[in-house]
Structure 1
Amino acid sequence: MRKLLLRMLVGALGLLLVLTMFLLVRAWQVGQQAELMVPPEPLSVAVDTPALIQRFAGALQFPTITHQDPAQLDSGAFWDFQTYLKHHFPRVHRQLQREVVGGLSLLYTWPGQDTTLPAVLFLGHQDVVPAAQPEAWTHPPFAGTVADGYVWGRGALDDKLGVLGILEAAETLLGEGFQPVRTIYLAFGHDEEVGGQQGARQIAELLATRGVVLIAVLDEGGFIVEDMIPGVRQPVALVGVAEKGYLSLELTATAPGGHASTPPTQTAIGVLSYALVQLAENPFPIRLEGPTRRLLEHLAPYTAWNMRLVLANLWLFGPLVARQLARSPAGNASLRTTFAPTFIEAGVKENVLPTTARAVVNFRIFPGETVESVTLHVQQLLKGLPITMRQTETGAFDPSPVSDVSSEAFQRIAQSIRRARAESPPVVAPYLVPGATDARYFTVLSPNVYRFIGVRVTPALLATVHGIDERVPIDEYVQAVRTYYALMRALSGP
């Protein structure tokens, strides 16, 4: 028996040694990918920085705000903004075909030398969200102030940067006499912040009726980050390859009501509270797959040795990595369908039991789930409770398809991003966009739909998107224009 146990122990140690060697070799092989990365050829393009900044700052002075209530839309602000674009980008408006779609959205067509090839589409949106607490801003939200190394104003990051950056790149290329091989489309919706139904959706439908096929679509949704991903020392360009789905459910609990001095065992507020607790205590499962897994795999070669050992062997350490990621709100959102109560309403007087209690719960749906499957999950959790459930009027949609990171289009995007920052080229990695963009409407026209703006951001800057003191560093706006220039040249080639 002792000899048998000894042989079993020796065998176990042997297996452990083999496993350890396999893990180490795998980590070494992954690390070699970073060593084999060829330095990018620097991008050569002349830009007039003061003029760029002046045009951008001017564009931020137009309050092109969209509201949930369409009656509040100020069309005049959009018309004035579009007149401004005509004045400051004369080559674009002289040489490209310009169409107005859905009342206020813009579609530009730049015919390629070979119109039989699939085209390329660059997206941005003209509209911005309202500026809450304008008195709390360092500079007025619609003044387009240039100060302290920044351009300040609503839309500086989301997304007048995209609109102006794309137009600056096109204007520069036209000035150089550039002729794209593929047709280039530029599309700027006017209602992205409220769902894009009248803008991007109608542009996508229009292109579909014309039989347009796209080799690539590039929209907002990704940035360059630095010191925001633990263990990665280099800057990382996060290119969105998919976005989560969207669903808001209104839950309404009912009860007889009455005087608060003699409450029943079950009240409307109590039932609704119990329902929300049920949702919180029964979250959707964690799934380290899809874009999030690919992100970790792309980052693995550039991490320190101990982290590389883990990320290079997700087949073994995946559950551990997922648990660690799920500890932060952003990491958790990248791994599962999330739920968040965003509105709750009940009661009319402190001593009166309400007959109804209502809550709106917002779900951001992970790829692999659907609006239908999430709704069914909620129905099963709340079965038997006196609660009615319905979708809100804001609409719902499934997660977008996941675009291929091995495609030629993605490779061209990655090369262009690195060329624009050849002095310190970032690691280019795919990721899952937690919010919604106009890009989702164009997945029917192309399997290669990506989301990226060539600006390096910090957590403090990201917090200004839809918040107070939205701004972009001057040098980063210039880099964004350079990136669009590189992308336009690369994606419109043969």
Structure 2
Amino acid sequence: MLYSHTDVVPAEHDKWVHHPFEAHLDSDGRIYARGSQDMKCVGLQYLEAVRRLKGWGFQPKRNVYVLFAPDEEIGGHDGAEKFSLSEVFRGLNVGIVLDEGLASPDEHYRAFYAERSPWWLVIKAVGAPGHGSKLYDNSAMENLLKSIEIIRRYRASQFDLIKAGLKADGDVVSINMAFLKAGTPSPTTGYVMNLQPSEAEAGFDIRVPPTADTESLERRIAEEWAPSWRNMSFRVSN
């Protein structure tokens, strides 16, 4: 089964030279569009490969299925997940599935036997609100900033393994901050600048390799990154 997905993530239009949803083709053959790499280029390669093989009269030993899913970027729960649990999928008797991977600038493509699992972590800190001119212990922002720094150090330790050539990209736990949400909205100036907020949140995109000790990572999140004794909570989805 050759799997790809047709949905894409949103785009910041003002950050693009060409419109992200108009698929601009330049004189060098490059296509500029949201989703051109992730992952319509792979889906088109599947179709082109099938077209060429059929043209050459190739007869595979097993059936080859091409699957286009509509909701991978939001978890795939209503697309590939439900399809994989269906009687239709069981009846296909699929022996191997090729999923998406890294884009390649040349004619060489790597196949991976495993893939990192996404953990989407949201950490929430709470604390008493206070005036912006005062110093308080255990405010929501202070506690969240402590967690962000602890996570940053762990991220750096994983990145150092790659830089030193000790591990490949797919062998480490990668962490990137996806959002930071805090502050008290103001109807006139965006945010109230002289008020410490009572809540603050941060979201992280974590990718966990099959070789990672997941129980240790779960303890790290609960005990170091979002400990309850610092008025913090967390949730993990994937």
Partner of 2:188: none
Partner of 2:235: 390
1:225–1:166 CA distance, 2 compared to 1 (3 A): closer
TM-score (norm 1): 0.40
**Counterpart AA for 1:196:** G
Partner-residue secondary structure (3-state), 1:262 = coil
Q: Which has the higher contact order (CA 8 A, sep 6+)?
A: 1
Partner of 2:131: 259
Partner of 2:164: 324
1:347: Cα distance to partner? 2.2
Partner of 2:61: 181
CA distance in 1, matches of 2:108, 2:47: 25
Q: Deviations over 1:458-485 (max 9, x none)?
A: xxxxxxxxxxxxxxxxxxxxxxxxxxxx
1:283: Cα distance to partner? 5.4
Partner of 1:277: 149
1:187: Cα distance to partner? 0.9
RMSD: 3.3
1:363–1:160 CA distance, 2 compared to 1 (3 A): closer
Partner-residue secondary structure (3-state), 1:357 = strand
2:37 touches 2:103 (CA, 8 Å); kept in 1? no
Partner of 1:304: none
CA distance in 2, matches of 1:172, 1:322: 38
2:174 touches 2:208 (CA, 8 Å); kept in 1? yes
Q: Deviations over 1:349-391 (max 9, x none)?
A: 2111221222223321122236554222111214432212223
The share of aligned pairs that are identical, in percent, is: 26
CA distance in 1, matches of 2:154, 2:102: 31
**Counterpart AA for 1:150:** G
Partner-residue secondary structure (3-state), 2:95 = strand
1:125 touches 1:163 (CA, 8 Å); kept in 2? yes
2:119 touches 2:207 (CA, 8 Å); kept in 1? yes
CA distance in 2, matches of 1:336, 1:130: 27
Structure number, greater radius of gyration: 1
2:128 touches 2:198 (CA, 8 Å); kept in 1? yes
1:179: Cα distance to partner? 3.7
How many residue pairs end up in the alignment?
228
CA distance in 2, matches of 1:131, 1:369: 32
1:370–1:186 CA distance, 2 compared to 1 (3 A): farther
The answer to whether 1:192 aligns with 2:72 is yes
Partner of 2:207: 364
Partner-residue secondary structure (3-state), 1:219 = coil
Match of 2:220 among 361, 370, 377: 377
Match of 1:336 among 148, 172, 189: 172
1:282: Cα distance to partner? 4.4
1:267–1:152 CA distance, 2 compared to 1 (3 A): same
CA distance in 2, matches of 1:261, 1:143: 49
Q: How does 1:179-258 map to 2 (within 5 A)?
A: 179-206=59-86, 210-224=90-104, 237-258=109-130
The answer to whether 1:167 aligns with 2:47 is yes
**Counterpart AA for 2:208:** I
2:158 touches 2:172 (CA, 8 Å); kept in 1? yes
**Counterpart AA for 1:210:** R
CA distance in 2, matches of 1:390, 1:321: 27
TM-score (norm 2): 0.77
Q: How does 1:66-465 map to 2 (within 5 A)?
A: 121-133=1-13, 136-138=16-18, 140-154=19-33, 155-206=35-86, 210-224=90-104, 237-282=109-154, 324-325=164-165, 333-348=169-184, 349-369=192-212, 372-381=215-224, 382-383=226-227, 384-391=229-236, 395-396=237-238
Of 145-154 and 180-189, the range deviating more from structure 2: 145-154
